[in-house]
Amino acid sequence: MKAVRFRRFGGPEVLEIVDLPDPHPGPGQVRIAVRAAGVNPSDWKKRRGLMDQELPQTMGHEAAGTVDELGEGVADVAVGDRVFGFSAEGTAQAELTVLDHYAPIPASLDFSGAAALPAAIETATRTLDQLGVGSGSTLLVNGASGSVGSAAVQLAVVRGALVIGTASPANHDHLRSLGAEPVAYGPGLVERVRALAPEGIDVALDVAGSGVLPELIELTGGAKHVVTVADFGGAQEHGVRFSRGDAGRAVHVLAEIGELIEAGHFSLPVARTFPLADIAEAHRVSEDGHVRGKLVLLVG
């Protein structure tokens, strides 16, 4: 099968499309013929050597496609079914991949729309769970217009929370359409948020990693009320929880999101698609950081 891989760390030019052996599913897993795969900021961070240090590395943790091989004990899907989910070995950006957690693709979504979902909705759900967001909570999302941020906004609103989201002014109408009260980031953030929420902020989620953890701690009254998924160094410095999937993933959301999508309570737009051969360009766009919605690779 064709797959994305890199053998040395560096810029997008180190990415290559190579032939790798076809994978096969283990017990409880399924193999899919990949039709679309998500692109995430963690991809270019890995490529630059900022995360995992082993070489070579394949790429991609979320995909959508059609089931073409079943692992032992799998009875909830059949060959030919449309599913989306998480790649067991981080090889989603390939012609074939094995999914260890999966769910049927919601009827209203195409493959690219489904491939955009797993990482964003899992990260958002995991962090909202860790923050204890529920009915009556007031949540501040720093970096609310990206894929994880907008997912967190919508899922928090579904839970009954009041949500304030930081974004550039160009994205304020977008945040309002998701159910959040927008606020500009930058100097004076604390005062602007307090003007919007005079009763105070209960918890805060940092998706942007823009160095605002001290402000979030000040607004919520303590580091224990803040979670970041983007500022590892700041989390260590300020005693804030850095959330990562290896602490327990909220994969239950895969089976739950379809109902919200079909009811019109959740959407995650695909900002741009790329053929698999244009993986380097997808990385350049992702690393530029000015994407509202999800970047997706089209395969097959």
pLDDT in tens, 30-60: 999 999 999 998 899 899 998 888 999 999 9
Is residue 208 exposed (0-12), middle (13-18) or buried (19+ Cβ within 10 Å)?
Answer: buried
**What digits encode the pLDDT tens for the residues 174-209?**
999 999 999 999 999 999 999 999 999 999 999 998
**Average predicted confidence (pLDDT) for the chain:** 95
Amino acid 180 reads: A
Task: Give the pLDDT of residue 78.
Answer: 98
Q: Are 6 and 57 in contact (CB under 8 A)?
A: yes
Distance CA 216, CA 227 (A): 9
pTM reported for the whole predicted model:
0.94
Domains parsed from the chain with CATH numbers: 2-116+269-298 (3.90.180.10), 121-246 (3.40.50.720)
139: its two tokens: 């949540």
pLDDT tier, 247 (very low <50, low <70, confident <90, very high otherwise): low
Determine the 3-state secondary structure of 93 from DSSP: coil
Distance CA 147, CA 112 (A): 14
Percent of the chain whose pLDDT exceeds 90: 89
* Contacts (Cβ under 8 Å, ≥6 apart) of 276: 2, 4, 17, 93, 297, 298, 299
Task: Give the pLDDT of residue 13.
Answer: 97
Which of 206, 218, 210 minimizes the C-alpha distance to 186?
A: 210
ω into 214 cis (within 30 of 0):
no
3-state secondary structure 9-77: CCCHHHEEEEECCCCCCCCCCEEEEEEEEEECHHHHHHHCCCCCCCCCEECCCEEEEEEEEECCCCCCC
Distance CA 54, CA 9 (A): 10
- Report which of residues 209 and 258 the model is more confident about: 258
Which of 77, 123, 145 minimizes the C-alpha distance to 257?
A: 123
Strands 138-142, 203-206: pairing is parallel
